[in-house]
Amino acid sequence: MQKFLRSALFALYMVFVFLPFCGFVALTSWMSLRERYDFVTRWNNRHTLRVFERLLGIRYRVIGRENIPAQPAVYLAKHQSAWETLAFAEFLPPAAYVAKRELLRIPFFGWGMARMPIVTIDRAAGKDALAQVVDQGRALMAEGYSVVIFPEGTRTAVGTSRRYKAGGAKLAVAAGALAVPVAHNAGEFWRRNAFVKEPGEIIVSIGPGIPTAGRSAEQVNAEVEAWIEGEMLRLFPHHYRPAASRAEPLRAES
């Protein structure tokens, strides 16, 4: 019951504090993009992330901070919950997220998101969507932003995976940037579509940057997948079947 009440209070916070703040961000046309990014991330880190910890009991620990490059990079991460879309900004350098264009139409949240550095994908564009990621991503990286992309394309439960799409790797190759893999277990405490959040410590592991010069996107993507899935199995073996191969973790149903 206590977890339910805490989760209910968190839902009220999101509706009556977080979403109105997103609406305010949509009106900040007088700010430059970097000023807006800095303002939003400072507010988010001081308020929303503190609510995660103090109200929901969700803490986090980062290993591999030394692997964060000094220059803009492409971060390819597991996607298990809404937690990482809000928390990564506290320990990663300024970054744009890759998101579906339709998300920008969501009242308040989407309106605010549209004012941030973002790479949008038009799903109706088919193969041209990949070119959108590369073009927009390179432009933002030239302005000093890194890019965060979830190569599996959707949220997955801990202990499962989906096919890794090569869009993030293609951007890294086109930009001549490092591809940095990121593993975490946020879904253990913040399950997809679950109202009740579980208290606990999320572990985020940032891997060594993968060089892209002279390599194909497919090669880079395969190395990213191998590192992330191997790290997930190493850190969270209790979420995988004992008989599961280290190279082949459980895969979600399509």
Residues whose CB is less than 8 angstroms from the CB of residue 170 and which lie 6 or more positions away in sequence, other chains included: 130, 133, 134, 217
Half-sphere exposure of 61 (CA within 13 A, CB side): 5
Does a structural domain hold residue 254?
Answer: no
Tell me if 19 is assigned to some domain: yes
Tens digits of residue pLDDT in 33-79:
999 999 999 999 999 999 999 999 999 999 999 999 999 999 999 99
CA-nearest of 173, 170, 155, 253 to 213 is 173
Looking at residue 244, its pLDDT comes to 42
- Please report whether residue 39 resides in a domain: yes
pLDDT of residue 56: 96
Q: DSSP state, 14?
A: I
Joined tokens for residue 222? 């395969």
Q: Which DSSP letter does residue 184 get?
A: E
Residue 107 lies in a domain: yes
User: What tokens were used for 70?
Assistant: 């000094």
Supply the CATH number for residue 33's domain: 3.40.1130
User: What's the structural domain count of the chain?
Assistant: 1
Average pLDDT score, the chain: 91
Over the stretch 230-245, which tens digit does the pLDDT of each residue have? 999 999 998 887 644 4
199 inside domain: yes
Q: Is residue 250 part of a domain?
A: no
- 249 — pLDDT class (breaks 50, 70, 90): very low
Residue 252 forms part of a structural domain: no
pLDDT (0 to 100) of residue 125: 64
Q: Is the pLDDT of residue 248 over 50?
A: no
Q: How many CB atoms lie within 10 A of CB 74?
A: 32
Its domain, for residue 233, covers: 2-239
Tell the burial category of 104 from Cβ atoms under 10 Å away from its Cβ (0-12, 13-18, 19+): middle
For residues 108 and 99, what is the distance between their CA atoms, to the nearest angstrom?
16
* pTM for the predicted model, two decimal places: 0.91
Q: What is the CA radius of gyration of the chain?
A: 18
Domain membership of residue 246 (yes or no) is no
